[in-house]
């Protein structure tokens, strides 16, 4: 039985085939590698978009919280002004002296 240089040569690396690589096989691997990079690129873009969206939602929630706090403060000031207004009306009404009533002329 004769031996060839390929059979006698150094042992292939782990996961590597002992057969020489053909151009068609290399193109297939290159295509798979390109597909994998494309999918990872899409997933990376989706991750970045999701992160931007999450930041946007957080900013929106903070804006809503600030708006709610401002509305509560405004309502509190309005209630205080209404109470002060009603107290002044009550004081003025109490201060009015009608005097004795004339029942007959």
CA distances from 14 to 28, 52, 99 (A): 20, 42, 114
Question: If you ran DSSP here, which 8-state letter would residue 13 be given?
Answer: P
Averaged pLDDT score across all residues of the chain: 79
Angle, CA of 71, 83 and 78, to the nearest 5°: 20
The reported pLDDT for the residue numbered 40 is 74
pTM for this model (two decimals): 0.44
Give the pLDDT of residue 12.
53
- Per residue in 68-103, pLDDT (tens digit) is 999 999 999 999 999 999 999 999 988 887 777 777
Contacts of 6 (CB under 8 A, 6+ apart): 18, 20
Q: Give me the residue spans of the domains in the chain.
A: 24-95
């Amino acid at each position: 039985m004769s031996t060839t240089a390929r059979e006698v040569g150094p042992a292939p690396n782990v996961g590597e085939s002992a057969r020489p690589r053909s151009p068609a096989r290399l193109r297939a691997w290159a295509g798979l590698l390109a597909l994998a990079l494309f999918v990872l690129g899409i997933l990376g873009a989706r991750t970045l978009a999701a992160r931007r969206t999450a930041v946007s939602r957080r900013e929106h929630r903070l804006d809503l919280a600030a708006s709610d706090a401002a509305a509560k403060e405004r309502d509190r000031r309005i209630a205080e002004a209404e109470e002060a207004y009603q107290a002044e009306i009550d004081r003025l009404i109490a201060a009015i002296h009608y005097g004795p009533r004339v029942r007959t002329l």
